[in-house]
């Protein structure tokens, strides 16, 4: 029984740590090709282990709820690590948010934007948003900030 407990502890620790290790390996960039090959080998190993153990924990019907959460965590971190390394230009979540109007504009690494509004008016988007999010002109209480030409300190 003690060896079974040790095996479960090793599997849980592997599920918890393999995804973050793979994410950390995807953050390391080098120009030395031999180090890059070893980094990619280790990265692929940790992503594979994370996804395999995560699926094993998450999809098993006999696992308790906490073990299923650990499996979901391992699947999520394995997916994030593989997307960061092999598909860095694919932005799924920000483009979905932009389609539903949650953000004004989704921007990829090249600076090209995806319009959130259906009318496609560029003037409206340039006027009220920037590359770093919407430009806030008014305060939340509906009054002017005083620096926009309205109010006592903003008058000309």
In a domain, 6, yes or no: yes
In a domain, 92, yes or no: yes
In a domain, 148, yes or no: no
For the stretch 42-62, pLDDT in tens is 999 999 999 999 999 999 989
Q: What average pLDDT score do residues 123-138 get?
A: 52
What distance in Å separates the CA atoms of residue 106 and residue 122, rounded to the nearest whole number? 14
- Give the pLDDT band of residue 1 (cuts 50, 70, 90): confident
In this model, does residue 96 exceed pLDDT 80? no
Domain holding 98, by residue range, is: 1-103
Pairing of the two strands 105-107 and 113-115: antiparallel
pTM score, whole prediction: 0.60
Collapse the DSSP code of 130 into the 3-class scheme (helix H, G, I; strand E, B; otherwise coil) and give the result: strand
Collapse the DSSP code of 114 into the 3-class scheme (helix H, G, I; strand E, B; otherwise coil) and give the result: strand
């Amino acid at each position: 029984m003690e060896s079974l407990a040790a095996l479960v502890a090793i599997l849980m620790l592997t599920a918890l740590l393999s995804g973050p290790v793979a994410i950390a390996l995807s953050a390391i960039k080098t120009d030395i090709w031999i180090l890059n090959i070893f980094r990619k080998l280790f990265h692929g190993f940790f992503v594979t282990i994370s996804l395999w153990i995560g699926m094993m924990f998450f999809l098993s019907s006999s696992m308790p709820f906490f073990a299923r959460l650990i499996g979901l965590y391992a699947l999520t971190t394995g997916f994030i690590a593989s997307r960061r390394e092999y598909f860095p230009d694919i932005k799924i979540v920000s483009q979905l948010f932009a389609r539903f109007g949650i953000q004004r504009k989704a921007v990829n690494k090249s600076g090209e934007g995806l319009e959130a509004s259906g009318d496609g008016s560029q003037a409206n988007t340039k006027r009220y948003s920037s590359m770093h999010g919407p430009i806030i002109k008014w305060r939340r209480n509906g009054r002017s900030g005083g620096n926009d030409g309205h109010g006592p300190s903003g008058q000309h």
